[in-house]
Amino acid sequence: MGTVSLIVVEQGSEWPGHVGNCENVMAVGSHKEGLLQSTRQGLDSLRRRGHYLRVAVLACNEATDLASASHRAEVARELLTAVSAAGFGRLLLSATDRASMDQRRELLSLAGALSQTLPASSVTVAVRFGASDRRQSLPQKAARRYLAEPAGLRRAALR
């Protein structure tokens, strides 16, 4: 058993950089619905292996339409539920420092709504605009591979 950090990357988002001191696992879907399914599968795989999710990061792209916001909220709720199961931890919603005001409002609103659902625990929800000190984009070659073989990515990351 161990603790892990799960980084979920929406297609077209900026890589959030290093987060936490745990093993990092990433789930990527090729479209909105695929991301939720991929995230659920990744979380199930972690649970079966006895891992606790301490830090979850949702790297958000710039889409602010209603459908994108709705799918993003579903993925965020899945992640928050998984982090809450351990009784402590953090969910981080991450976006580029160039995020529009609409996107900033949407993510801050989502974080507020998620925070209100938290039980009395040591779980927090935060929003970050801009990558950490290791600012970089997800390499295109890696992104194509992850989108093509999400199951292969999980196997490699969970060794």
Give yes or no for residue 3 having a pLDDT over 90. no
Encoding tokens for residue 116?
A: 């209100």
Q: Check residue 60 and give its pLDDT.
A: 93
pTM of the model: 0.77
Alpha-carbon distance of 89 to 78, in angstroms, equals 14
Q: What are phi and psi of 47, to 5 degrees?
A: -60, -45
φ/ψ (deg, to 5) at 130:
105, 145
Distance of CA 124 to the CA centre of its chain: 14
Q: Residue 9 sits in a domain of what CATH number?
A: 3.40.50
Query: Structural domain of residue 133, as residue ranges?
Result: 3-157
- 12-18 average pLDDT score: 73
Question: CB-based contacts of 124: which residues, under 8 Å, 6+ apart?
Answer: 89, 90, 91, 115
Number of domains composing the chain: 1
Please write the tens of the pLDDT for every residue from 115-149.
988 766 689 999 999 865 443 434 333 333 333 33
pLDDT, one tens digit per residue, over 27-68 is 655 565 688 988 998 899 888 988 888 899 999 999 999 999
